[in-house]
Amino acid sequence: MISLIVHGGAWNIPDDTLEAHRTGVAQALQIGWEVLRTGGTSVDAVEQSLRCLEDDGTFDAGCGSHFNAQGVVELDASIMDGKTFRCGAVGAVRRVKNPITLARKIMEDSEHILLVGEGAELFASRNGVPTCDPSALRSPREVKRWESIRATEGFTTKMAFGDHASDTVGVVALDERGNLCAGTSTGGTLNKHPGRIGDSPLIGCGTYCDNAVGGVSTTGWGEGMIKVVMAKTVVDYMDQNGGDAQDAAERGVAHLKRKVDGLGGVIALNVLGTFGVAFNTPRMARAYMSSAMHDPFVAV
Ligand code: ASP
């Protein structure tokens, strides 16, 4: 059994960008699927799918990321290997186009889990992960978006999950050896304070993975996700309910709402390759495929 699930954010995705979201998650799914289909590992599938989403420009990740309150892009990402429990994560990096690759490098080639800011960038340059000028991460669309929300009186980062934007990306994969991996990548919330880190790079909040149970990636208002340790909570629900990924995802989102009035969505994949998706925002971009299906499922 091989299985792959991808998300591209949960918010009120506007009609005129539905096609770009659909195409983006479908393409990332196809890239990861090719890795799994040809016998590759779940870690490779997660990294390759996420790199595709980071490079797409449609999503709040890599080169399409939102600006912080200083008009600068700061990226967060994490990855977790369900077989070994090894994980890697980066926070608030300004000079790395593909933070998921840096997160993987930290997972595989360091004794640490989470590196932030300049220290993470130093690790990148010392370990062969390409760095870039911060201006390479500034998309013209995001310049306009940032200027328009700065003119919105009373704007808070949580409001983005309604009618503004939140396009964090995430992937969970199961390879033919039965190994699971989960990863998440984001530019974080629109107009966030410089140095703010959300749920996405925090293991247990934005990403969690355990070969014995399943893997999860989240998207949504990070401050709420952190308070309920969202990704681990959904994995725990899966552990308790006999591995029902859909039930666990729904319970997770209900818990998020009930406990902290949170907004967002999750993708979940269990060790048997069955999916779960739940969200309480108007829309969520997602796609999945398994060797038990004829065609991929893609929806926004
Ligand atoms: N969870 C991300 C954060 O708070 C944002 C998102 O999912 O769009 O940084």
Q: Judge whether 260 lies within some domain.
A: yes
Contact 50, 59 (CB under 8 A): no
Average pLDDT score, the chain: 95
Residue 116 has pLDDT above 60, yes or no: yes
Tokens representing residue 105 in the block = 């490098």
In angstroms, what is the span from residue 126 Cα to ligand 1's centroid? Answer: 28
Spatial separation of the C-alpha atoms in residues 98 and 289, rounded to whole Å: 24
Minimal-distance CA residue to ligand 1 atom 9: 188
| Ligand 1 neighbourhood includes 74 CB (under 6 angstroms) | no
Most informative mutation of 65, 221, 286 for ligand 1 (most atoms within 8 A of CB): 221
In a domain, 163, yes or no: yes
Flag whether 299 is in a domain: no
Q: Is 36 among the domain residues?
A: yes
Task: Identify the band that residue 59 occupies on the pLDDT scale cut at 50, 70 and 90.
Answer: very high
CATH code of 264's domain: 3.60.20.30
Tell me whether residue 300 is in a domain: no
Ligand 1: which of 156, 184, 219 to mutate, judged by most atoms within 8 Å of the beta carbon?
219
Q: Is the pLDDT of residue 269 over 60?
A: yes
**The one-letter amino acid at 149:** I
Q: What is the pLDDT of residue 163?
A: 60
Tens digits of residue pLDDT in 137-154? 999 999 998 988 887 777
Atom of ligand 1 nearest to the CA of 220: 7
pLDDT (0 to 100) of residue 157: 67
| 40 Cβ neighbours under 8 A, 6+ residues apart | 175
Of residues 41, 157, 168, 218, which has the active-site annotation?
Answer: 168
Residue 137 covered by a domain: yes
Q: Model confidence at 129, in pLDDT bands (50, 70, 90)?
A: very high
Is the C-beta atom of 222 inside 6 A of ligand 1? yes
Q: Is 168 a catalytic residue?
A: yes
Which range of residues forms the domain containing residue 120?
Answer: 3-293
Q: How many domains, in total, are found in the chain? A: 1
User: pLDDT band at residue 300, thresholds of 50, 70 and 90?
Assistant: very high
Instruction: Judge whether 121 lies within some domain.
Output: yes
